[in-house]
Every structure is written in C-alpha cells, then in structure tokens.
C-alpha cells in the first residue's frame, strides 16, 4: 500500500519513515503544484505550488496507516503554516495526501483527535487532500541522509 506525506524538508521525513518497521520503500518528490515535472530549483522558488513529500510503500500486515500517521504527527510541527523550523515556503507545508477514502477518513479523525488533545496552543493546519501526481525528485535527493552519513 502507499501513503504520502509532506512535513517540511523531505530528507528528514524520508530518513525517519525509511527506518520505520513495516515500511518497504520510500522515495522523495514534489506534489501538489501546477508545474509539470518540476525540478528542485523550480520548487525552491516557492512559485510552483509543490510540496516536498515522501511517498511510502508499506506492508499493512506489519504497520497500520494509523501508525504511519502517528510517526508523521510526532515528527514535525503541524501548526506552522508553510514552514518547519528554519525552512520557510509553501514547499515545506504539512500535508497528508490520501490514496483512498479509507485513508481520508482515518487522516481526518486523526487530525481532529490531535487538534482536540491540547498538545498544541495553536490549531493544526495540516492539509488533507487527494493524492495528485507525484514527481520523483532528482536522484541526489533520494536517501540523502544515508548517502551523506547523517543517518
């Protein structure tokens, strides 16, 4: 099964998810913008509308979608609009891209639960949208931390 998340710079998110039991593979890319086949340089202009995202292939017998959502929620700040830490721009927004109605329902309930939990002083701004075309990022971005010894 597939899951797709945007939570700031895709290098960290991919590294984290790739080490999660039940995740078979990950790839980073660009999603949710207007430009066809965008490059990293184009996405960084903050004018294409794309988010840096991670597409996850997972085994639902080993990890649930709910557990993947927990990893997503617990490893970024879902209350900051178009930013994570020092990274600022629409490409760093928080988004759950659902692949089917079941994922949509689970994601919406999960977001509502987090919002009502009192964990944050501000509302959760994470978008929950249907998965548009995912454009795989350039090869040098794939498994970036692994390639550069940051894992």
Residue pointed to by tokens 């700040």: 77
Q: Greatest CA span in the chain, whole angstroms?
A: 40
Given 6, 7, 9, 23, the catalytic residue: 9
Position 150 scores a pLDDT of: 74
Residues of the chain with pLDDT under 50: none
- The span from the CA of 22 to the CA of 28, in Å, is 18
- The span from the CA of 11 to the CA of 53, in Å, is 9
9 is catalytic: yes
How far does the chain reach from its first CA to its final CA, in angstroms? 25
Q: Write the class of the CATH domain 2-146.
A: alpha beta
> Taking the domains of the chain in order of start, what are their residue ranges?
2-146
Position 151 scores a pLDDT of: 59
Q: What pLDDT, in 10s, does the model give residues 91-112?
A: 999 999 999 999 999 999 999 9
Position 149 scores a pLDDT of: 78
Supply the DSSP symbol for 92. Answer: G
């Amino acid at each position: 099964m597939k899951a797709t998340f945007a939570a700031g710079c895709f290098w960290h998110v991919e590294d984290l998810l790739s080490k999660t039991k039940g995740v078979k593979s990950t790839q980073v890319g660009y999603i949710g913008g207007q430009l066809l086949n965008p490059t990293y340089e184009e996405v960084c202009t903050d004018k294409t509308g794309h988010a840096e995202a991670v597409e996850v292939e997972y085994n639902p017998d080993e990890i649930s979608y709910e557990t993947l959502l927990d990893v997503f929620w617990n490893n970024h700040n879902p209350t900051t609009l178009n930013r994570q830490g020092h990274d600022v721009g629409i490409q760093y927004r928080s988004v759950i891209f659902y692949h089917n109605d079941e994922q949509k329902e689970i994601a919406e309930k999960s977001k509502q639960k987090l919002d009502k939990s009192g964990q944050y002083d501000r509302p959760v701004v994470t978008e929950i949208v249907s998965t548009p075309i995912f454009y795989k990022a350039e090869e040098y971005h794939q498994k970036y931390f692994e390639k550069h010894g940051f894992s």
